[in-house]
Amino acid sequence: MLWAAVAYAVGITTGVYAWRPASWWIIAGIAFMGAAAWFSRRRARFAWALAFAGLILLGALHIQVRPRSSHFDSGIHAYADRQELQIIAHVIHDGRIQSDMGELRQVVDVEAEEIKSSTGHSRIRSGIRLSIYGATSQDSMLEDPSRGPSLTPVRAMPTFHYGDRIRLLAKLRVPHNFRNPGAFDYRGYLEDRGIAALGSAKLENVELLPGFYGNRLEDLRSRLHRKVIAKVHELWPADEAALIDAMVIGEEAFIDRDTRTDFQRSGTYHVLVVSGMNVSILAFVVFWTMRRLRLADIPATVLTLAICVGYAFLTDVGAPVWRATLMCAVYLGTRLLYRERAMVNAIGAAALALSCSTRARSLRRVSR
């Protein structure tokens, strides 16, 4: 499985830099796989080489026929000239509030529904990363009963959550990269997340509209995520709760800049990042507990995997957690089948599964 994952990754890289018609990859792949099947009982090593070559061709085909993210639409660039616009949009990721020099700033990702300018209006489905500014008020540190417990000043700056619809006056600009050698491709990073423009607005120019727009499953994840954070802040002081948020659920919004810098300088910043280690600890504790309770192998395995998948879904931090979850599933699955357990095989299987969902965008950034 490890060699299969490597072969597929080589195919993805080849497909990014060497474009060919899809029919070429398909015909070549069928030929290689057919030859591998024919040689499988005659020359096993040669058959394996042909099969891996077929996986390379499959990876190249996959990356070239995969459409670009349907959520990315650059049509909004025509309005990103810093003129004031009236925008109706819905939130696609929960807002994060930060305090800087006595001013609150909320960063929230939205998808535009309608844009009105001095020259007219149009319907555009483009992602925008908004910065909403509002003054800090110590008197506003209250709980908003209509929206549940809040960890931020709700009157001075209400937190906008997934699915909320808003109307606002904002100025837009196109994100750009610094031209330093090896600099981070910020624009590509945003495009991968469907964000085509950056915007800024004042809180008094933002109006919350009635209704909900979005996916109910993602809304459930967002609500559970917020409830966990609220419970953590209920149990621990603010500074400790911020660290626990980051270590347990991958939420870094409450870590201040000084704390972040201290962890980076000490070389221990990885402690604040949710990774496969969290999944491993969770799986070990749950499985060990189920076995101590004399639960049979199959229900213990199913329950352990269900909890790991739920944790990966709740944290929503991407590949590291899902990779570990896939590895855990492969490892526990082979245990049920009484097969020899090989960690390298589990890593390879997880890597192959993640490679199948790789986008060309992340590799194209390298060639810029």
pLDDT surpasses 70 at 328: yes
Q: What would the 3-class secondary structure string for 19-46 be?
A: CCCHHHHHHHHHHHHHHHHHHCCCCHHH
Strands 195-202 and 206-212, bridge-based pairing: unpaired
> Is pLDDT at 151 greater than 50 in this prediction?
no
CB 71 within 8 A of CB 194: yes
Q: Regarding beta strands 195-202 and 127-135, do their DSSP bridges make them parallel or antiparallel, or are they unpaired?
A: parallel
Question: Of 4, 10, 2, 15, whose CA–CA distance to 51 is shortest?
Answer: 4
Q: What confidence score (pLDDT) does residue 171 get?
A: 92
CA atoms of 296 and 29, how far apart (whole Å)? 44
Query: Within 13 A of 218's CA, how many CA atoms are on the CB side?
Result: 13
Confidence of residue 41 (pLDDT cuts 50, 70, 90): confident
pLDDT per position as a tens digit, 61-93: 888 877 555 455 677 888 888 888 999 999 998
Distances (CA, A) of 328 to 5, 41, 276, 280, 335: 17, 33, 10, 8, 11
Please say if the pLDDT value at position 307 is more than 90: yes
* Contact between residue 143 and residue 149 where contact means Cβ atoms under 8 Å apart: yes
Q: Is the pLDDT of residue 146 over 50?
A: no
Least confident of 208-212, 242-246, 253-257: 253-257
Q: Where are the domains of the chain?
A: 2-66, 74-214, 236-272, 276-337
By percentage, how much of the chain surpasses pLDDT 70?
Answer: 86
Task: With cut-offs at 50, 70 and 90, classify the pLDDT of residue 44.
Answer: confident
CATH architecture of 74-214: Beta Barrel (2.40)
- State the average pLDDT for the chain: 81
Is residue 365 very low, low, confident or very high in pLDDT (cuts 50, 70, 90)?
Answer: very low
Which one is predicted more confidently, 151 or 283?
Answer: 283
| Short-list 4, 26, 1, CA closest to 15 | 26
The pLDDT of residue 106 is above 60: yes
